[in-house]
């Protein structure tokens, strides 16, 4: 009877050691996760942006830059291309944007600026 209780006691100790080692391993691995920089919105290539010229049609602009992120059907005179460059680790978000203005169905002006939050 005494021998059996020693065996049960050793099994319980080994199980607890395994459990503690497993929990500590997961805790250490969670701290080693790579945090990726995420960009949301349109990915605007600077060469494509510089290719947008006054007099281009909306279809040509969509071909170069894609559809605008903010599309207001009540105001067709400008399109906003907004994207956020973010550093998740530091909780830092940098909004950036480009606005394409249209007059008479063609590009009249391109406003490239950083947007202050």
In which band, very low, low, confident or very high, does the pLDDT at 23 lie, cut at 50, 70 and 90?
confident
Question: Domain spans of the chain?
Answer: 1-33, 38-114
Q: Please list, residue by residue across 52-79, b when 16 or more beta carbons sit within 10 angstroms of its beta carbon and e when fewer do.
A: beeebeeeebeebbeebeeeeeeeeebb
pLDDT in tens, 48-86: 888 999 999 999 999 998 888 766 777 778 888 876 666
φ, ψ of residue 67 to 5 degrees: the values are: -70, 145
38-114 has which CATH code? 3.30.1450.10
For residue 36, is pLDDT > 70?
A: no
pTM for this prediction: 0.54
């Amino acid at each position: 009877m005494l021998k059996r209780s020693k065996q049960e006691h050793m099994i319980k100790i080994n199980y607890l050691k395994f459990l503690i080692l497993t929990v500590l391993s997961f805790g250490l691995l969670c701290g080693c996760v790579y945090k990726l920089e995420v960009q949301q919105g349109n990915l605007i290539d600077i060469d494509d942006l510089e290719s947008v010229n006054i007099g281009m049609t909306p279809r040509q602009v969509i071909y170069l830059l894609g559809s605008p992120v903010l599309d207001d059907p009540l105001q067709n005179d400008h399109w906003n291309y907004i994207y956020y460059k973010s550093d998740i680790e530091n909780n830092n978000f940098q909004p950036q944007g480009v606005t394409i203005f249209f007059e008479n169905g063609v590009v009249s002006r391109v406003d490239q600026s950083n947007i202050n939050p």
